[in-house]
Amino acid sequence: MKKAKRAAKWPRDPEGMRIRILEAAKKEFAAYGLAGARIDRIAAEADANKRMLYYHVGNKEDLYLAVLEAAYEKIRAEERGLDLEHLDPSAAIARLIDFTWNYFIRNPEFLALLNTENVAKARNLKRSTKVKSMHSPFVEMIRTIVDRGVKTGEFRVAMDPVQLYISIAGLCFFYLSNSATLSFIFGRDLLKKDAKEERLEHVIMLVLAALTGRSGATLTPMATAHDSHLA
Amino acid sequence: MKKAKRAAKWPRDPEGMRIRILEAAKKEFAAYGLAGARIDRIAAEADANKRMLYYHVGNKEDLYLAVLEAAYEKIRAEERGLDLEHLDPSAAIARLIDFTWNYFIRNPEFLALLNTENVAKARNLKRSTKVKSMHSPFVEMIRTIVDRGVKTGEFRVAMDPVQLYISIAGLCFFYLSNSATLSFIFGRDLLKKDAKEERLEHVIMLVLAALTGRSGATLTPMATAHDSHLA
DNA sequence: GTACAAATTAACTCGTTGGATAAATACTCC
DNA sequence: GGAGTATTTATCCAACGAGTTAATTTGTAC
């Protein structure tokens, strides 16, 4: 019997292959965690061979770290495009909240990855050299907004930017990341459209109330625009 | 050679054994997640034999669910002992926040377990019959406080109790649960004493500002008392 | 068209791990 | 002190899954 000449499923495309692998790995790690993820499933999902993962990226842990780094890079990059400098302080904060909320909704894998990594006490992330440096510019961006708000008298207090960001992220993150257990124990679907809209308004109200000392009724309409889909 | 008569390490004590198993399993699942947990390690930690886990509880998944149910039962039970009905609305909320914060600090495994379960989309929790029923009384307790606050004029808005609780829990949970990655990316130790005290004050300020519309300066001293260690 | 490297495939290794079996040991009640 | 049951122990094993080896194919440069 003649040996069949089997064409490769994908013509040679190392770059594309690497991307497909990382995308598949992201899904897998998000769905099952580091320990629960299966190399074979990632390979299958990427329309690749198991050997390819090792060839293009490395072992399971390397793969996981690569996914994690890419995830951080992606969100921080989108945030840099927010252009908050040109908005009034309150509007800037509302926009940051709106972005954060919708980013988390659009990227549920990001939440799951962070959870997995935190259960592991950031053991893997600590091996990263890139991730840390992404964050000082981000903190400075928030600090600038707060300082401006204080200077114009719009904000009551010079809130610590890290504290503020953790609150914003926390109010969004916890609701979405824990929506499965919360929906179950409270017996209501936290992910249905109405519930999500209500939550975003609630978060914006909460944060601005604390910053400005004024009621949530002063929200600009813009602040409640959903899914800003920034470039 | 005579067969040594090896005394059992623990004299017959099925109840104690069960408790030791669940305690060891809690640690293990919290540290490694469901997939990463190792039955053998749990057995060793519980000073038991692997067979004992199956005998007293069941397979790995049963064990995991038992741990999860016990964890929910524990926090809800402590909350019931808070006796918030006798406090002024603001003080009651501050006390609830204080309790929640310190409970999370005292029980880091609880946070890790919830994270693991949420990565799994509550797949396992949904098999539980007990957990759901624990929560309506809890929600009603919060609703009562809010209603009282609105009636006395202390609170501006009749905030949805579930929304409010998710915010309180989120502000505490995210900070603590994600402290490993956050500490790393922001380059500061979020778990050192000062940082934790600052965070608790920040959370109380944020929530009360939104509820009362007043500044955080009105905090009662009690509200910042740490580690209430309720009965 | 041939030499050489890059990319891809198939098949195998081998330790780990959840779970199962059977036998041994202690407690209880008569 | 013996029967019967509850608890505990010592082994075993089949499946799985990460990682490897070696062969094969495809592109490229000359």
Q: What pLDDT shows up at residue B72? A: 97
Q: Where do the domains of chain A lie, and which CATH numbers do they carry?
A: 13-58 (1.10.10.60), 72-216 (1.10.357.10)
* Statement: the CB of B9 is under 7 Å from strand D: yes
Closest to B32 measured CA to CA, from A177, A128, A121, A108: A121
Are A17 and A56 a contacting pair, CB within 8 Å? yes
Element (H, E) at A20: helix A14-36
Q: Give the residue ranges with Cβ < 7 A from strand C.
A: A 6, 8-10, 12-14, 17, 48-52, 55-56; B 3, 5-8, 11-12, 37-40, 50-51, 54, 59-61
Only one residue has tokens 């005394």, namely B7
Element (H, E) at A96: helix A89-106
> Given pLDDT bands bounded at 50, 70 and 90, which one contains residue B7?
very low
Within an 8 Å CB–CB cutoff, is residue A142 touching chain B?
no
- Per-residue pLDDT, averaged over A5-22, amounts to 73
DSSP string, B33-52: HHHH--HHHHHHHTTS-HHH
For B149-201, how does the pLDDT look when each residue is reduced to its tens digit (9 = 90+)? 999 999 998 999 999 999 999 999 999 999 999 999 999 999 999 999 999 99
- Per-residue pLDDT, averaged over B136-153, amounts to 96
* Statement: the CB of B2 is under 7 Å from strand D: no
Within an 8 Å CB–CB cutoff, is residue A50 touching chain B?
no
Element (H, E) at A45: helix A39-45
DSSP string, chain B: -PPP-PPPSS-S-HHHHHHHHHHHHHHHHHHHHHHH--HHHHHHHTTS-HHHHHHHT-SHHHHHHHHHHHHHHHHHHHHHTT-GGGS-HHHHHHHHHHHHHHHHHH-HHHHHHHHHHHHTTTTTGGG-SHHHHTHHHHHHHHHHHHHHHHHHTS-SS---HHHHHHHHHHHHHHHHHTHHHHHHHHTS-TTSHHHHHHHHHHHHHHHHHHHHSS-GGG--GGGG-------
Give me chain A's average pLDDT, please. Answer: 90
Distance B64 CA to C27 C1' (A): 30
Q: What pLDDT shows up at residue B224? A: 40
Within an 8 Å CB–CB cutoff, is residue A131 touching chain B?
yes
- Of residues B1 and B187, the one with the higher pLDDT is B187
Within an 8 Å CB–CB cutoff, is residue B108 touching chain A?
no
Rounded to 5°, the CA angle A124-B196-B114 comes to 55
Q: Which two tokens stand for residue A138?
A: 């981000």
Of the residues A72, A79, A115, the best mutation for testing chain B's interface (the one with the most B CB atoms within 10 Å of its CB) is: A115
Q: What pLDDT shows up at residue A217? A: 43
Distance CA A18, CA A56 (A): 6
A:35-64 Cβ neighbours of strand D under 7 Å: 37-40, 50-51, 54, 59-61
Least confident of A44-53, A174-183, B6-15, B113-122: B6-15
> Given pLDDT bands bounded at 50, 70 and 90, which one contains residue A49?
very high
Q: What pLDDT shows up at residue B229? A: 40
Q: How far is CA A195 from CA A190, A202, A228, in A?
A: 6, 10, 18
- Of residues B16 and B202, the one with the higher pLDDT is B202
Q: What percent of chain A has pLDDT over 70?
A: 88
Whether residue A29 is predicted with pLDDT greater than 90 in this model: the reply is yes
Q: Which two tokens stand for residue B51?
A: 């067979």
- Per-residue pLDDT, averaged over A76-88, amounts to 94
Q: What pLDDT shows up at residue A215? A: 61
Amino acid identity at B188: R
Only one residue has tokens 């064409």, namely A7
Are A67 and A57 a contacting pair, CB within 8 Å? no
Whether residue A96 is predicted with pLDDT greater than 50 in this model: the reply is yes
Distance A4 CA to C1 C1' (A): 23
* Phi, psi dihedral angles at A223 (to 5 degrees): -60, -25
> Given pLDDT bands bounded at 50, 70 and 90, which one contains residue B203?
very high
Whether residue A227 is predicted with pLDDT greater than 50 in this model: the reply is no
Give me chain B's average pLDDT, please. Answer: 89
- How many alpha carbons fall within 13 Å on the CB side of residue B155? 24
Q: Which two tokens stand for residue B215?
A: 């500044």
> Given pLDDT bands bounded at 50, 70 and 90, which one contains residue A221?
very low
Whether residue A180 is predicted with pLDDT greater than 80 in this model: the reply is yes
Q: Which two tokens stand for residue B41?
A: 């390690």
Distance B132 CA to D2 C1' (A): 50
DSSP string, A185-201: HHTS-TTSHHHHHHHHH
- Of residues B157 and A59, the one with the higher pLDDT is A59
Distance CA A142, CA A160 (A): 9
Q: What pLDDT shows up at residue B9? A: 53
Q: How far is CA A105 from CA A108, A175, A191, A197, A229, in A?
A: 6, 10, 10, 12, 11
Whether residue B213 is predicted with pLDDT greater than 90 in this model: the reply is no
Q: What pLDDT shows up at residue A14? A: 81
- Of residues B230 and A175, the one with the higher pLDDT is A175
